[in-house]
Structure 1
Amino acid sequence: MKKIIAFVLLISLNIFANDIDKADEAYEKQDYKTAIEYYIKATNSTDLVTKLDAMNQLGFIYDNVQVHQGITPNLKLAYEWYKKCADLDDAQCQFNIGSMYDEGHGVEQNYSIAMNWYLKAAEQDFIDALYNIGLVYEVGKGTRKDIPEAIKWYSKAAALGDVESAQLVNDLKATLK
């Protein structure tokens, strides 16, 4: 019985992996309608990586596609796909939602909500989130300006290899002297 279950799981993973491959292929050809169809199928995968990738790609397409590309941009759908993905603890999607709130892109601008999403992504060492938190404190966006706190967050991003953050750490430290 265990062998049958394992076989069925293996087959289903293969089917959804095939869907994500077909979706990626269609996306590369800028056939977004077909890509969306296959990404939606892939969101049903039992493989979490495949599921998260598909959800993130769907959010990205609806967030960034141009009307002339055959799909109408739909920030509500972008948010919904990013949110489903973020709720499954995907740092990229958590960051994307944070950015939407930070910029008021498809949602009402709310720096507090943006920061909460950035912090979730930062807990997973997501460099862009660490950088954005540093920026929030550097410029005082939605909070008081706090250069030592900005340095702390930029330093975390720099420690993960972000060159721009490393430069900002040096620049900001120089302003404190």
Structure 2
Amino acid sequence: MKKIIAFVLLISLNIFANDIDRADEAYDKQDYKTAIEYYTKATNSQDLATKLDAMNQLGFIYDNVQIHQGITPNLKLAYEWYKKCADLDDAQCQFNIGSMYDEGHGVIQNYAEAMFWYKKAAEKDFVDAFYNIGLIYEIGKGTRKDIQEAIKWYSKAAALGDVESAQIVNELKATLK
């Protein structure tokens, strides 16, 4: 019985992996309707990485697609897919939600909410989250301007190899002298 269950599980994981592959192929060909169909199927995968990838890609398509590409942009759906993915602790989706709140893109602009999601992504060493938090403190967007705090966050991004953050750290430190 255990062998049968293991076999069925293995087959189902392979099916969802094939859905991701088909979705990626369709996406690369700019066949977004087909990509959406297969990514949506892959969101039911038992494999967490496959599920998260599919959810993130669906959010990305609805967030970034152009009308002439055959799909109508739908920021509500983009947010919903990013949120499902973020709630499963995916740093990319947490960052994407933070960006939506930061820019007021599809949601009411809310810097506190943006910071919350950026910090969730930063907990997983997501470089772009460190950078955006640094920027928020550097310019005082939704919070007090705090160059020392900006340097702290940019430094974390720089430590993970972000060259632009390293340059900003040097520039900001020079302004403090």
TM-score grouping bracket, smaller chain normalisation: over 0.9
Q: Match of 2:89?
A: 89
Q: Match of 1:173?
A: 173
Structure 1 SS opposite 2:17: helix
Alpha-carbon distance in structure 2 between the residues aligned to 1:45 and 1:73: 25
Alpha-carbon distance in structure 1 between the residues aligned to 2:105 and 2:150: 24
Contiguous gaps of at least 5 residues in structure 2: none
Q: How does 1:98-137 map to 2 (within 5 A)?
A: 98-137=98-137
Alpha-carbon distance in structure 2 between the residues aligned to 1:5 and 1:145: 57
Alpha-carbon distance in structure 2 between the residues aligned to 1:129 and 1:9: 36
Q: Match of 1:3?
A: 3
Tell me the TM-score normalised to structure 2 length.
0.99
Alpha-carbon distance in structure 2 between the residues aligned to 1:123 and 1:162: 17
Contiguous gaps of at least 5 residues in structure 1: none
Over the matched positions of the two proteins, sequence identity in percent amounts to 89
Residue 5 of structure 1: CA displacement?
Answer: 1.2
Q: How does 1:1-177 map to 2 (within 5 A)?
A: 1-177=1-177
Aligned letter for 1:52?
Answer: L
Alpha-carbon distance in structure 2 between the residues aligned to 1:29 and 1:138: 40
Structure 1 SS opposite 2:142: coil
Alpha-carbon distance in structure 2 between the residues aligned to 1:3 and 1:122: 41
Residue 104 of structure 1: CA displacement?
Answer: 0.3
Alpha-carbon distance in structure 1 between the residues aligned to 2:116 and 2:106: 17
Q: Which of structure 1's runs of 4+ aligned residues deviate more than 6 A?
A: none
Tell me the TM-score normalised to structure 1 length.
0.99
Alpha-carbon distance in structure 2 between the residues aligned to 1:92 and 1:9: 27
Corresponding pairs, count: 177
Aligned letter for 2:139?
Answer: V
Residue 2 of structure 1: CA displacement?
Answer: 1.6
Aligned letter for 1:143?
Answer: T
Residue 108 of structure 1: CA displacement?
Answer: 0.3
Residue 46 of structure 1: CA displacement?
Answer: 0.2
